């Protein structure tokens, strides 16, 4: 079962651009947690099946972004001269 905090984090991530100012400030103001804690929780939630059921578009978008970042890292490592 997702906690109220987890649901709030997923809701916020799904529409953070609607809040005024920088994202890290909005995280602090609207969720009352640090940006570090927010991103730690978000990384945990992307692999949670309950999070996927609660916010499928947000979780799929985050999974896609993570996969793209990992592909970029793998490409850079593969292109490193030896």
Which tens digit of pLDDT belongs to each residue from 52-71? Answer: 999 999 999 999 999 999 99
pLDDT band at 81 (very low <50, low <70, confident <90, very high): low
CA quadruple 77, 79, 80, 82: dihedral positive or negative?
positive
Average pLDDT, integer, range 5-16: 95
pLDDT, greater one: 1 or 55: 55
**Looking at the 3D structure of the chain, how many domains does it have?**
1
pLDDT band at 6 (very low <50, low <70, confident <90, very high): very high
SS3 81: coil
Instruction: State what percent of residues in the chain have pLDDT above 90.
Output: 79
Q: Which residues contact 75 (CB under 8 A, 6 or more apart)?
A: none
Residue-range definition of the domain harbouring residue 9: 4-78
Residues comprising the chain, all counted: 82
């Amino acid at each position: 079962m997702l906690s109220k905090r987890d649901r709030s984090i997923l809701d916020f991530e799904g529409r953070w651009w609607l809040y005024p100012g920088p994202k890290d400030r909005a995280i602090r103001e609207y969720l009352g947690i640090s940006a570090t804690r927010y991103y730690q929780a978000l990384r945990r939630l992307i692999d949670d099946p309950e999070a996927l059921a609660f916010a499928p578009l947000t979780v799929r978008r985050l999974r896609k972004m993570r996969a793209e970042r990992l592909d970029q890292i793998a490409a850079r490592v593969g292109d490193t001269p030896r």
